Structure 1
Amino acid sequence: MNSTINLVFQKNNIGLGKRKHAVARVFLVPGDGNIIINKLPGEKYLQYNETYLGLIKAPLEKLNLNSQFNIVALVTGGGLTGQAEAIQLGVARLLCKMEVQNRAILKPFGFLTRDARIKERKKYGLRKARKAPQYSKR
């Protein structure tokens, strides 16, 4: 039993997803559709938010595999929304790595596109990225 777990959690069986500052390392384990995030049940970690849970399960549902795999994710950085979207990208990438024909199904839904929007850097002379100090005429 322990050797099968080690086979699943290897470097070549990982789906890496990123969104803003969130980074998710995702593993798919044969199971019955449970989600485990940072060793906690997915529902508890995502505060029972159905939107986040739906985001994560969406690639599996499009391929009708939602009751065949458990999703195990290790997530760092960002907030819950960014983490959920990072896990979704990791799941989609891992499914494409497992079966090449899955790519043609998932690509039109946008599951394989990395959202490149990140926080803009602060510029000198400004308070934030674009917020300037108040202008005083006198």
Structure 2
Amino acid sequence: MDQHGRAYATGRRKDAVARVWIKPGKGTITINGKEQETYFARPTLRLVINQPFAITDREGQYDVIATVRGGGLSGQAGAVKHGIAQALSKYEPALRGTVKAAGFLTRDSRVVERKKYGRAKARRSFQFSKR
């Protein structure tokens, strides 16, 4: 908790890193200075972000301010979700069990596999030519 009464947490997913602050409010979510609907245009990404609130029955009770860097939109949405879940468990420690049981506190460690030499991509071989 800081002097403004906010809980802070960092969320990570793939190459994206999200810094998240939550405080009691009307339920507005601001990402990089933009509204949730404009930053994450796809409804599935907005659904991902709201999962921690839905599972704890806290929808519309907290304002979220997040800054996200790196990765694509899907990874950024996962990072914000991870950050919100971490911040919720810090703000209300009683919710930690619920959020942890849903698996939202665990950082999803899956990242893109690196490209190897002698290969077209990470695992795909170059096209075989008989003649």
Give TM class, smaller chain: 0.7 to 0.9
Pick the aligned partner of 1:130 from 113, 119, 123: 123
Q: How does 1:104-123 map to 2 (within 5 A)?
A: 104-123=97-116
* Paired positions, count: 129
Q: Which of 35, 41, 50 is residue 41 of structure 1 equivalent to?
A: 35
Q: State the distance in 1 between where 2:62 and 2:96 align.
A: 18
Aligned equivalents of 1:127, 1:114: Cα separation in 2: 30
CA distance in 2, matches of 1:100, 1:33: 20
Q: Does 1:59 align with 2:52?
A: yes
Partner of 2:67: 74
| Bigger helix fraction | 1
Q: Which runs of 5+ in 2 are unaligned?
A: none
Q: Within 5 Å, give how 1:77-116 maps onto structure 2.
A: 77-116=70-109
CA distance in 2, matches of 1:125, 1:133: 8
How far does the alpha carbon of each residue in 1:86-117 deviate from its partner, in whole angstroms, 9 at most, with x for none? 10110001111222221111122121121111
1:28-76 deviation line (CA, Å, top 9, x unaligned): 02210011000001111111x2222121111112222222211111001
Report the identity percentage.
Answer: 44
Partner Cα distance (2:26, 2:92) in 1: 19
Identify the match of residue 23 of structure 1 among 17, 20, 23: 17
RMSD of equivalent CA atoms: 1.6
- Cα distance in structure 1, aligned partners of 2:128 and 2:51: 49
SS in 2 for 1:14: strand
TM-score, normalization: structure 2? 0.88
What are structure 1's unaligned runs of at least 5 residues? none
Query: Residue type of the partner of 1:34?
Result: T
Distance 2:101 2:32 in 1: 30
Distance 1:24 1:87 in 2: 5
Q: Distance in 2 between matches of 1:71 and 1:83?
A: 15
